[in-house]
Structure 1
Amino acid sequence: MSDMHGQIDAFNALLDKVNFTMEEDLLFLLGDYVDRGQDPRAVIKKARALEKQGAIPLKGNHEDMMEKALAGEDTQAVLHWAANGGAQTLSSYGLSMKKVYNDIQNHALELPEDLQQDLQWVQHLNIYAETENYFFVHAGVDPEKPFDETDEETFLWIRTPFFEGYHGDKTVIFGHTPTMNLHESSDVYFGTNNIIGIDGGCVFGGQLNCLELPSKTVYTV
């Protein structure tokens, strides 16, 4: 699953629909838990609970923006985050973007304890995960470089060069780019070059997808 973006109701509904059980399933979450939706805090709480049950949560570019703004205490990073839905994340913790910006500017930022703990969790998220046949990542990979020589920003942000240029042996499962931009549908995108996009653009009125492997069965809400 990927790109929940604060849509806690859809996230819970999809987990119920696939009947996730820690004893039988290995769940990969491909990032973008926060921003834009109604309750990013609740999505992080759910992702953290799932991690304790064995799920593997990865970092998305929206967690990266959150980390750079809050942990880095950088006003330019705050503005970048604000332009990409960060206000909804702060609101779910009882804060406003304006206050955070001013506090950082005045070197007086104090975050509530629950946000501090979630921020620490974000800072320790892995960027990718891989199995024998699959590579799981938020945005994609550099088609010109080995995985272990690729920088973090590429894994979190890449789009077109990956879509058009990847031809590796492992199937890359990714989120980040709504599939509507890949094949004019919110359904999972099965690329002919060994890539599978699963971001159904739920927060933009699309759907939340879950891809089951190796069967390639898709569940949606």
Structure 2
Amino acid sequence: MMPKFVIGDIHGQIDRLHEALEYIAKDEHAGAPIVFLGDYVDRGPDSRAVIELLMQGQAEGKPWTCLMGNHDRFLLRYLANPNYMDPNVSRPLLWTDPPLGGAHTLASYGVDVREGRDLDDIHADALEAIPQAHRDWIANLPRLLETEEHIFVHAGLRPGVLLNYQKEDDLVWIRAPFLDWQGDWGRLVVHGHTALDAPQLYSNRLNMDGGAGYGRPLRPGLLLGREAFLLGPIGRVRL
């Protein structure tokens, strides 16, 4: 049984990420692999710093796997087309519109996103400000990670579809068909994307999105087989 740590949606909260990594460092299994479930950017103030920390950790050879989230993909699609509206969003929105939080990401790269600025000027500044290395890193993020005991994914899986045939839109965006399904996947599915007040374990899945993008704590998880624990200031708490 290989222990693994898991960290849910970070959303530009670099201080929360440092705190989560400190909790992991104090655990007896410190040094075990960490899986990050995507959504590193948007809403919080420090998206650039989050990406730089994750890139640096991987460059140093830390056993970190970073998956792609829908917000990370949105950043790339905005850079390709500033008028892009993802059809998976519940209503027509640009990435820079307040509910999605892309303006906070651009601001973390030093882009002037003050209200009233021309959107084309903001986009031109973004193309200049966001390093190609950051774009390449996001573009190459895996969408899924399988182990003997777990399936790690940002949003979830579509019931009735084999893993090899899952569509990227579902892996980074799905909600109700996955969240409502009570069947057994054969392994515990570990995901984020749908924000709760705190991570929660269900019979067939573990939701690690505790709402850090909305100012709530970012608690890392520890997986020992299908047992799951949250790490925090008092140590481990079993889910």
Please report the TM-score for the alignment, with normalisation by the length of structure 1: 0.86
Per residue, is there more helix in 1 or in 2?
A: 1
- 1:109 offset after TM fit, Å? 6.3
* CA deviation string 1:41-76 (max 9, x = no partner): 001111112223220001000001101111x23423
Are 2:208 and 1:198 aligned? yes
Distance change (3 Å), C-alpha of 1:155 and 1:20 = farther
Measure the CA separation in 2 of the matches of 1:66 and 1:81. 7
Are 2:163 and 1:147 aligned? yes
* Other-structure match for 1:42: 49
- 1:170 offset after TM fit, Å? 1.2
Q: Can you give the 5+ residue segments of structure 1 that lack an aligned partner in the other structure?
A: 181-185
Secondary structure, in 3 states, of the residue corresponding to 2:84?
helix
Distance change (3 Å), C-alpha of 1:63 and 1:204 = same
Q: Can you give the 5+ residue segments of structure 2 that lack an aligned partner in the other structure?
A: 1-6, 87-92, 234-239
Secondary structure, in 3 states, of the residue corresponding to 1:88?
helix
Distance change (3 Å), C-alpha of 1:207 and 1:61 = same
* Other-structure match for 2:200: 189
8 Å contact kept, 1:207–1:220: no
1:89-100 maps to which residues of 2 (within 5 A)? 89-97=105-113
8 Å contact kept, 2:82–2:120: no
Secondary structure, in 3 states, of the residue corresponding to 2:180?
helix
- 1:103 offset after TM fit, Å? 4.0
1:84-163 maps to which residues of 2 (within 5 A)? 84-97=100-113, 101-103=119-121, 111-112=127-128, 114-163=130-179
Query: Which of 192, 212, 216 in structure 1 is aligned with 2:228?
Result: 216
The range that moved more, 209-218 or 21-30, is 21-30
Query: Which of 25, 38, 42 in structure 1 is aligned with 2:32?
Result: 25
Measure the CA separation in 2 of the matches of 1:104 and 1:114. 12
* Other-structure match for 1:55: 64
Flag as ranges the 4+ runs of structure 1 deviating above 4 A. Answer: 20-23, 97-100
Q: Match of 2:206, as an amino acid?
A: I
Measure the CA separation in 2 of the matches of 1:54 and 1:81. 31
Are 2:184 and 1:167 aligned? yes
% same residue: 32
Are 2:10 and 1:4 aligned? yes
Please report the TM-score for the alignment, with normalisation by the length of structure 2: 0.80
The range that moved more, 28-37 or 90-99, is 90-99
Superposed CA RMSD in Å reads: 2.5
* Other-structure match for 2:89: none
Measure the CA separation in 2 of the matches of 1:109 and 1:146. 42
Secondary structure, in 3 states, of the residue corresponding to 2:72?
helix
- 1:123 offset after TM fit, Å? 0.8
Higher relative contact order (CA 8 A, sep 6+): 2
- 1:160 offset after TM fit, Å? 1.3
Measure the CA separation in 1 of the matches of 2:22 and 2:170. 33
Measure the CA separation in 2 of the matches of 1:147 and 1:111. 35
Are 2:94 and 1:80 aligned? yes
